[in-house]
Structure 1
């Protein structure tokens, strides 16, 4: 029976591997590590580029703790969906290999950028640091502590956007001790927080903040704040916070570095205080996480396998809505409000329009941009992001706009708030509805008033395609 089970598992692994590799065209090698290679790949159907990490299972199993490190990285990345964190798209495995399909970041490491420029201007350093803090604070909100933050583990794409990577040493809530602290000493010597070295337990958030401070120092000054060939001397410098912060830096940068590189974690600045710091606040636009409705990670043979559903051909800019989905909009049938603190009508607004989908997207983009928000098109929706509470209380703001087709000349537009203040959300959709010439916008479930829509199967042109 055991042999049969092993054979079935191996066969499942081979099928998962074949399905994954059949979907991608592997290209040049991007890098090599202890466990295998990272190759560039192109998705055959969409043409999108990815990075495929191919790990040798034998090597992973031969090194103590390496198997746990790989599993931990996969488990962590499946939890995270943020523009400043490298995204995991698929995982599959065969008997000898593990395949991780990751977001392809084409700009190299932050380390390389600093090495080329020697040091960055305060403006560029601040912009990158803001993204780093946005990504790290998001991880902390998810209960993830990186524990190995350094320029080599921070990637930058060609647009200058930071992507945090390498979560092999990360900690999750289940790794906390009974005292609510972490106890494993790990990280890179020059970036490790002093409390981690003391073996008394440490707060993962504050230790990550220390590492972010070391990265900020390197970006602005051009060399490590704590460095020595003798490890004992290096750790003594870290314990004391023994470093020189140049006076030629702006007063704000000096102050923030001093408050982050505070050796006493109880006196160290926290994430919320960093985001409110005057130097950090300059030109700061908070970045919202990806929408919760974005595609889930597909896991192969090493985790429960999900069937891959092939996309139908046709216009991908809009979704066709059938009668059952339309009826489900009615307030009498919508149960989501029972499980959420915020009322459904405060999060979702729908209205009908005869405008073509492209015109709707264009007009919504113009309205949102003129209201001071940033807009990006992703798949079949618009994502509207920005800062909704002002400089003294920065809060990420994310609204998704999606169009559904009811018929050849009738569409439903949905504005869904994922993050941010409800009052700002209402101001935004008031502006959008005015620009679109909509007299009245209805809340979720009120699209058709108190009555459910009726359907006449005898009609020559049905209102809704069943």
Structure 2
């Protein structure tokens, strides 16, 4: 994680183009990287302990994964006041926006995206990573129409049979055991309940 001196200015490296969305951490911005001449995404938040914990969790996960259907982590920058997490820019937006604007996907395309999603989950689980917040807003579509799993700020480490507690993620996609505040198998939650809700949305 890069910690930059106070005199460093974000605008020297990045040109802000627009705000793409907002999440629990803060605004998500599309910017132009002057060093690489490529568009990237920057998630911006205040440099607070609660945000630092989420950033460190997301960074720890993204730095260890290499999969065609999981978004690529590029850089994390900290200043006295702010945290910036930088990832690749996925051109096609998220599936929530896509379905809202264009309607339900054709069955063949929905099946393709779901297969790619399952492939990403299998990779995560094989490497001891549990996503915990699968929803259409966190499934991105690249220029080739392929799915990329993003926003792993709530991800945690856990192998087969890992029992978790606590209600994380988005309520609309939570499994019954989360609503009831019961212990649960995080890998089954990823695979069965949240992925099933995402499939129904498509």
Could you state the TM-score of these two structures normalised by the residue count of structure 1?
0.40
- CA distance in 1 between counterparts of 2:36 and 2:52 reads 32
Contact 1:85 1:163 in 2 (8 A): yes
Q: How many residues align?
A: 200
Could you tell me which of 192, 196, 211 is aligned with 2:194?
Answer: 211
- CA distance in 2 between counterparts of 1:145 and 1:191 reads 15
Partner of 2:177: 195
* 2:27 counterpart SS class: strand
Q: Please give the residue correspondences for 1:65-464 in structure 2 after superposition, counting only pairs within 5 Å.
A: 65-173=50-158, 180-209=162-191, 210-219=193-202
Give the greater-gyration-radius structure (CA).
Answer: 1
Matched, 1:56 2:46: yes
Q: 1:87 to 1:19 in 2, by over 3 A?
A: farther
| RCO higher in structure (CA 8 A, sep ≥6) | 2
- CA distance in 2 between counterparts of 1:184 and 1:84 reads 27
Partner of 2:30: 40
Contact 2:69 2:148 in 1 (8 A): yes
- CA distance in 1 between counterparts of 2:137 and 2:23 reads 13
**Alpha-carbon shift at residue 33 of structure 1 (Å):** 4.0
Contact 2:6 2:80 in 1 (8 A): no
- CA distance in 1 between counterparts of 2:22 and 2:201 reads 26
* 2:184 counterpart SS class: coil
* 2:15 counterpart SS class: strand
Q: 1:25 to 1:17 in 2, by over 3 A?
A: farther
- CA distance in 2 between counterparts of 1:17 and 1:144 reads 37
Deviation track 1:395-436 (CA, whole Å, cap 9, x = no partner) reads xxxxxxxxxxxxxxxxxxxxxxxxxxxxxxxxxxxxxxxxxx
**Alpha-carbon shift at residue 113 of structure 1 (Å):** 1.4
Over aligned residues, Cα RMSD in angstroms? 2.6
**Alpha-carbon shift at residue 19 of structure 1 (Å):** 8.1
Q: 1:104 to 1:88 in 2, by over 3 A?
A: same
Which structure has the highest strand share of the two? 2
Q: 1:195 to 1:116 in 2, by over 3 A?
A: same
Contact 2:154 2:168 in 1 (8 A): yes
- CA distance in 2 between counterparts of 1:47 and 1:111 reads 29
Contact 1:17 1:93 in 2 (8 A): no
**Alpha-carbon shift at residue 69 of structure 1 (Å):** 2.3
Any gaps of 5 or more consecutive residues in structure 2? none
Could you state the TM-score of these two structures normalised by the residue count of structure 2?
0.86
- CA distance in 1 between counterparts of 2:23 and 2:172 reads 21
- CA distance in 2 between counterparts of 1:31 and 1:17 reads 28
Q: 1:105 to 1:187 in 2, by over 3 A?
A: same
Contact 2:162 2:186 in 1 (8 A): no
* 1:18 counterpart SS class: coil
Any gaps of 5 or more consecutive residues in structure 1? 1-11, 220-466
- CA distance in 2 between counterparts of 1:16 and 1:156 reads 36
- CA distance in 2 between counterparts of 1:132 and 1:99 reads 27
**Alpha-carbon shift at residue 211 of structure 1 (Å):** 0.8
Contact 2:25 2:43 in 1 (8 A): no
